[in-house]
Amino acid sequence: MEIDATMFGQFVVIFALIMGALCYYLGRRKTQNPVLAGLLGVVLSLMPLFGLIYLIVLLFKKDLSSTSASGLDAV
């Protein structure tokens, strides 16, 4: 089976969308701006190795505390 440019391009686009969704999901728990985390995941996934490295960094990042995530610490 030959891999042409069209098939590779489709793989990269689908991979970037999946990685963006995963990074957004992790970003909701681990960052204060999950949209930026998801967008950064999509952009870095255009080079698949960078996308995987970014996902691993998000996995090992500590979760935000539940009080600061809900905004109750300002009260």
Residue-range domain boundaries for the chain:
5-74
- Residues 22-50 have pLDDT tens digits of 999 999 999 999 999 999 999 999 998 99
The amino acid sitting at 5 is A
Residue partners of 31: CB distance under 8 A and separation at least 6: 37, 58, 61, 64
Entry pTM: 0.77
How far is Cα 11 from Cα 50, in angstroms, rounded to an integer?
Answer: 15
Tell me how far apart the 2 most distant CA atoms of the chain are, in Å: 61
- Residues 42-73 have pLDDT tens digits of 999 999 899 999 999 999 999 887 655 555 55
pLDDT of residue 73: 53
